[in-house]
Amino acid sequence: MTVPSPARETALAPDRPGFQLVVEAPLALDCGVQLGRYTIAYQTYGRLNAQRSNAILICHALTGDQYVVGAHPLTGKPGWWETLAGPGKVLDTERYFLICANVLGGCMGSSGPMELNPATGRPWGLGFPVITVADMVRAQTKLIDHLGIETLFCVTGGSMGGMQVLQWAASFPERVFAAVPIATAARHSAQNIAFHEVGRQAIMADPQWCQGNYLEFGKRPERGLAVARMAAHITYLSEQALHRKFGRNLQDRSALTYGFDADFQVENYLRHQGIAFVERFDANSYLYITRACDYFDLAAEHGGSLANAFRGTRTRFCCISFTSDWLYPTSENRAIVHALNAVAANVSFVEIETDKGHDAFLLEEPEFFATLRGFLDGCARHRGLAAP
């Protein structure tokens, strides 16, 4: 076991369930900065077995957090993977020890632009160093060290969570027994970057943003962040799902108003999504995390060949995509599979038929669940994990 760097663990906050790990040793970031004394907020579910062989690291997506299961401390809504994780579910807390950490740069207790810079005692704001997906994963390794886990049974996650899964498998292959990247890509496409840039510009165009120093002025760029969320939310749904849900239906009215109110249900829905989002998310965090996604290019890290990222890997992979996901389409997921095939890795790949778009990875999709359950069961047998 690697001896963890000096670190101490505390409860996150009286009103926030979960834990917080404070790491004193600096973290060398991709941007060249040494991030000294940082925190990782995390949640665990289930119990780590005596062999420490049943841990599953769940990596959350762009606007997710560590509250995978149970009521969210800010919104009161169920955890974001409540459908998938829990006693007797696919990510069975009676069998596996689930870990989920708020990403570096996040706003739910891990070090990020919203937290206080220990050097100045003021919020980091844009003084926080730009972080990458690899940095997020590096920080997570400190948590896994701290928990005394040498090899994770599985690392899984969708969307940006999937990018972290790929980064884990590429950077720490011996610590990942199985990897399940879902609805993701090994690099951000021009279109992905373009959508993120729209979101960032919306935030920065809000006068309340104050060049990133809004916390010091007691302000919040809520309008900008809400617009960013609205634009992004469209990319999470398929055209078909939007049409099925809203069509051209009018919102609480029987005729067009010839004005700019939310005449259409879809407008009302997006506005609601935007408003709900700003209650729980920090605008600067949104800038940092979208940037981390944009910078992600696993092949570029390995001499331009994605296959090189996985050469010699013994990890068992299961890649999953969804037919109507146009944000991280099947073709991007298949590119990962092709790279894994090129090094004769142990890989399964399933494309799930659904019209729910990118968001399908968060929803109850029986084929998706059955596939993941079967894959994990098979891996558990190879890992020698007893059935619950």
Partner 1 sequence: MSADGGLNAVPAGARLRGDLRLVADMIERGSRVLDVGCGDGELLAFLAREKSIDGRGMELSQSGVNACVRHGLSVIQGDADHDLQDYPSDAFDYVVLSQTLQATRQPLRVIEHLVRIGRRAIVSFPNFGHWRIRLNLMVHGRMPRTPVLTHAWYETPNIHLCTILDFIALCAELGVGIERSVTLDRHGLPYRLKPQGTLANLMAEQALFLLRGARSQAPA
Which is nearer to partner 1, 223 or 383 (by Cβ)? Answer: 383
Tell me the number of residues near partner 1 by CB under 8 A.
30
Report which of 264, 263, 278 is spatially closest to residue 233, judged by C-alpha positions: 278
- State the minimum distance, in angstroms, from the CB of residue 124 to partner 1: 43
The set of catalytic residues is: 159, 325, 358
Q: Is 306 left (phi over 0), alpha (psi -120 to 50) or beta?
A: alpha
Q: Between 265-278 and 222-236, two packed helices, what is the crossing angle to 10 degrees?
A: 120
Q: Is 184 in the site for partner 1 (CB under 8 A)?
A: no
Q: Is 348 in the site for partner 1 (CB under 8 A)?
A: yes
Q: Which of 353, 363, 364, 388 binds partner 1 (CB under 8 A)?
A: 353
Q: Is 299 in the site for partner 1 (CB under 8 A)?
A: no
**Stretch touching partner 1 by CB under 8 A, among 91-99, 240-248, 251-259, 380-388:** 380-388
Q: Is 371 in the site for partner 1 (CB under 8 A)?
A: yes
- State the minimum distance, in angstroms, from the CB of residue 170 to partner 1: 18
In the three-class reduction of DSSP (H, G, I as helix; E, B as strand; rest coil), residue 158 is classed as strand
Q: Sign of the C-alpha dihedral, residues 280, 46, 185, 239?
A: negative
Write out the DSSP string of 288-356. HHHHHHHH-BTTGGGTT-HHHHTTT---EEEEEEETT--SS-HHHHHHHHHHHHHTT-EEEEEEEP-SS
DSSP 105: T
Q: Is 331 in the site for partner 1 (CB under 8 A)?
A: no
- State the minimum distance, in angstroms, from the CB of residue 167 to partner 1: 22
Which is nearer to partner 1, 104 or 352 (by Cβ)? Answer: 352
Q: Which of 4, 233, 346, 355 binds partner 1 (CB under 8 A)?
A: 346
- Tokens 């600096």, located at residue: 26
DSSP 38: E
The residue type at 85:
A
Q: Is 350 in the site for partner 1 (CB under 8 A)?
A: yes
Which is nearer to partner 1, 202 or 306 (by Cβ)? Answer: 306
- State the minimum distance, in angstroms, from the CB of residue 337 to partner 1: 6
Q: Which of 344, 363, 364, 388 binds partner 1 (CB under 8 A)?
A: 344
- State the minimum distance, in angstroms, from the CB of residue 64 to partner 1: 25
Q: Is 347 in the site for partner 1 (CB under 8 A)?
A: yes
Q: How many CA atoms lie within 13 A of 52 on its CB side?
A: 11
Report which of 157, 159, 126 is spatially closest to residue 287, judged by C-alpha positions: 126
Q: Is 122 in the site for partner 1 (CB under 8 A)?
A: no
Binding mask 300-319 for partner 1 (x = CB under 8 A): ----------------x-xx
Q: Between 283-295 and 190-205, two packed helices, what is the crossing angle to 10 degrees?
A: 160
For residues 329 and 101, the answer to whether their CB atoms sit within 8 Å is no
The strand pair at 176-182 and 316-322 is best described as parallel
H-helix or E-strand spanning residue 16: strand 16-23
**Stretch touching partner 1 by CB under 8 A, among 87-95, 134-142, 198-206, 343-351:** 343-351
Q: Which of 77, 338, 363, 388 binds partner 1 (CB under 8 A)?
A: 338
Q: Which of 33, 223, 342, 355 binds partner 1 (CB under 8 A)?
A: 342
Q: Is 32 in the site for partner 1 (CB under 8 A)?
A: no
Q: Is 364 in the site for partner 1 (CB under 8 A)?
A: no
The residue type at 97:
F
In the three-class reduction of DSSP (H, G, I as helix; E, B as strand; rest coil), residue 50 is classed as coil
Q: Which of 349, 356, 360, 361 binds partner 1 (CB under 8 A)?
A: 349
Q: Is 381 in the site for partner 1 (CB under 8 A)?
A: yes
- How far is residue 74's CA from residue 100's CA, in Å, rounded to a whole number? 17
Dihedral angle, C-alpha 69, 176, 136, 102, nearest 10 °: 10
Q: Is 384 in the site for partner 1 (CB under 8 A)?
A: yes
- Return phi, psi of residue 239, to 5°: -55, -40
Residues forming contacts to partner 1 in the complex (CB under 8 A) are 316, 318-319, 337-339, 341-344, 346-353, 367, 370-371, 373-375, 377-379, 381-382, 384
